[in-house]
């Protein structure tokens, strides 16, 4: 089994510690919330992997009631908490299964909805389950002609000392780790934070990447995020 490591050292435990539920999602990071708003306001579907206790899922479903919000969590204890935290939100669909299984069943469960504007939030960690990031990215870029993929705990090149990121044994959560499984016949824009200001009251600075491709690519960086995110053409 692959154990979660990080830029910060986690104690080795066999059982996952259930997180605290927060009313704000995306770690409460001001600029990440603004980026999410930009992507979600015109989206048709929000697909998350790694629900945990449902902080981000509940926040998105409550803030954007027009969205179908779909998520999966394989850990039963975390899943039960997520159900409690989202059971009053009619636009939430939550599954107790690993994301590899969850992804394969998206078409049979949601069909035509997948042809709309889709925003992914990939936040599935190991915690006793196989780390699925490469499989997730390979599936999305092969099956969706256009998408915005937000990846949590992403390595920030040159900013490793400021932003938390995930590592599983010798596998770093980074663009380099997933590059070879991405569909080759596409052009990708990869967005990274360009700030070191901590704006969350409950979470340290956490690296993330936005992979944008197809018709859903951002036309330009809005004024509210200029100087806060940077883009690399791939």
76-86 vs 55-63: helix crossing angle, rounded to 10: 20
Q: List, for residues 111-153, the tens digit of each pLDDT value.
A: 988 899 999 999 998 777 788 999 999 999 999 999 999 999 9
Distance (Å, rounded) from C-alpha 95 to C-alpha 51? 9
Instruction: Give the per-residue pLDDT at 4.
Output: 34
H-type helices in 12-75, by residue range? 30-40, 55-63
Task: Please state the pTM of the whole predicted model.
Answer: 0.91
Question: Which helix H or strand E contains 73, and what residues bound it?
Answer: none
> Residue 123: which of 114, 111, 132, 110 has the closest Cα?
132
Q: What is the pLDDT along the chain (234 residues), one digit of tens a residue?
A: 333 333 333 334 445 678 899 999 999 999 999 999 999 999 999 999 999 999 999 999 999 999 999 999 999 999 999 999 999 999 999 999 999 999 999 999 999 888 999 999 999 987 777 889 999 999 999 999 999 999 999 998 888 889 999 988 888 999 999 999 999 999 999 999 999 999 999 999 999 999 999 999 988 888 889 999 999 998
> Residue 153: which of 122, 129, 132, 128 has the closest Cα?
122
Distance (Å, rounded) from C-alpha 25 to C-alpha 124? 15
CATH value of 4-9+22-233 in 3.30.1540.10, 2.60.40.10, 3.30.460.20, 3.40.50.150: 3.40.50.150
Domain boundaries, the chain: 4-9+22-233
CB-CB contact of 64 with 41 (8 Å): yes
């Amino acid at each position: 089994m692959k154990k979660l490591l990080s830029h910060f050292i986690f104690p080795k435990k066999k059982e996952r510690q259930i997180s605290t539920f927060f009313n704000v999602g995306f770690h409460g990071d001001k600029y990440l919330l603004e980026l999410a708003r930009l992507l979600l306001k015109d989206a048709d579907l929000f697909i998350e992997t790694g629900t945990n206790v449902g902080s981000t899922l509940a926040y998105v479903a409550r803030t954007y009631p027009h969205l179908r919000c779909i998520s999966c969590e394989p850990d039963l204890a975390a899943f039960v908490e997520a159900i409690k935290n989202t059971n009053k939100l009619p636009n939430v669909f939550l599954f107790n299964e690993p994301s590899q299984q969850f992804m394969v069943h998206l078409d049979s469960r949601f069909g035509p909805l997948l042809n709309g504007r889709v925003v992914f939030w990939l936040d599935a960690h190991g915690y006793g389950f196989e780390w699925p990031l490469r499989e997730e990215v390979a599936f999305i870029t092969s099956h969706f002609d256009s998408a915005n993929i937000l990846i949590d705990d992403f390595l920030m090149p040159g900013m490793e000392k400021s932003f938390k990121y995930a590592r599983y044994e010798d596998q770093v959560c980074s663009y380099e780790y997933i590059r070879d499984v991405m569909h080759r016949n596409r052009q990708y824009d990869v967005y990274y934070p360009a700030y070191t200001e901590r704006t969350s009251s409950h979470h340290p600075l956490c690296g993330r990447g936005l992979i944008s491709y197809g018709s859903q690519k951002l036309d330009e960086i809005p004024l509210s995020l200029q100087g806060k995110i940077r883009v690399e053409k791939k």
